[in-house]
Amino acid sequence: MKIIGIGNALVDILYRLDDEHLLSEIHLKKDAMTLINERWEHEIEDMTRHVDKSMANGGSISNTMVALARLEREVGFIGRVGDDEMGRFFEGKLCDAGVHTQLIRGREATGVAHTFVTPGGSRTFGTLLGAAYYLGPNDISEEMFRGYDLLHIEGYLVQNQELIETICQRAKQAGLILSLDLSSFNVVSKNRTYFHHLISDYIDIVFANEGEARAFTGNFDPQEQLRHIAHLCDLAVVKLGEHGSIAMLEGGRIYKCHADYVENVVDTTAAGDYFAAGFLHALTRGHRLKKCLQVGTILATEAVQVMGSQLSPAAWNRIKTGIHCR
């Protein structure tokens, strides 16, 4: 099966902080994604001028597609970038990984995610969507999905409901399975009713972490969260961080997987994205849910041990060995 993803095309500016004080000073909510404007971004740039930073490809779905490509899967990515250095950087990184790109180029600057990593590896985003903001319904055609079997969508796109509605309709018309990552608890909280419609009417597979699942269901029990979501779609997955992950087919049993122990969590930035890649890789190869959770865990375990989302060739070799061993 061939997989394509659609989401915000962003370049990550990564900052590693010794504490959380700076987050308060720049008015970002810890562990959340906050959309910022250009004025706010200038303030962030000014207040972080003495903080060490690095640059990497970002965007949730982009990360997932890169990971799938590293697992030697045929994958594609749809997004909007600017005709600028950042846009060329973004496209180059995807092409280097083997991802087929369908990028719309706009006049706007390519989007940037200021990513703050605090002790324990948690991450907080201040995101200027830039060109990604202008990805619109007219950019989406059914032809984009031809030749693919599954579409993976990021929940951030619900902030343009006409866009995500068009994406789902065109993908369904093309006969694709639809997978959705809920992406951020604050986005889910603000769009809970719309997410309910989206999942029940279009989505086949839902990925959520515990915070996102709580925001969507209003329930604090992970298994009840899972049952609630699985009632609305074919397959639900809830990621529980250090407590592992659970999955359930509609009306079926709950499958569980323990997390692998990691002595030093560096950055959780792409852990959920890599988990989704591993899970989808196994699922579309016909494996049982237990195996899918295990493969997702293998990728997430490697992801939290590095800054950003770029894994070394040695890490990918460990991943491929681990997948065959479990």
Question: Could you give the 3-state DSSP secondary structure of residue 318?
Answer: helix
pLDDT at site 326? 67
Q: For residues 279 and 226, give the distance between their C-alpha atoms in angstroms, rounded to a whole number.
A: 16
- Specify the residue for token string 């031809």: 146
Token pair for residue 205? 């597979």
**Which of 45, 26, 49 shows the shortest CA–CA distance to 112?**
45
**Structural contact between residues 177 and 149, judged by C-beta atoms closer than 8 angstroms:** yes
Tens-digit pLDDT profile for the chain (326 aa)? 999 999 999 999 999 999 999 999 999 999 888 999 999 999 999 999 999 999 999 999 999 999 999 999 999 999 999 999 999 999 999 999 999 999 999 999 999 999 999 988 888 999 999 999 999 999 999 999 999 999 999 999 999 999 999 999 999 999 999 999 999 999 999 999 999 999 999 999 999 999 999 999 999 999 999 999 999 999 999 999 999 999 999 889 999 999 999 988 887 878 999 999 999 999 999 999 999 999 999 999 999 998 777 899 999 999 999 898 76
End-to-end Cα separation, the chain, in angstroms? 22
**Could you give all domains of the chain from N- to C-terminal order, each with its CATH number?**
3-10+58-109+129-325 (3.40.1190.20)
120: left (phi over 0), alpha (psi -120 to 50) or beta: left
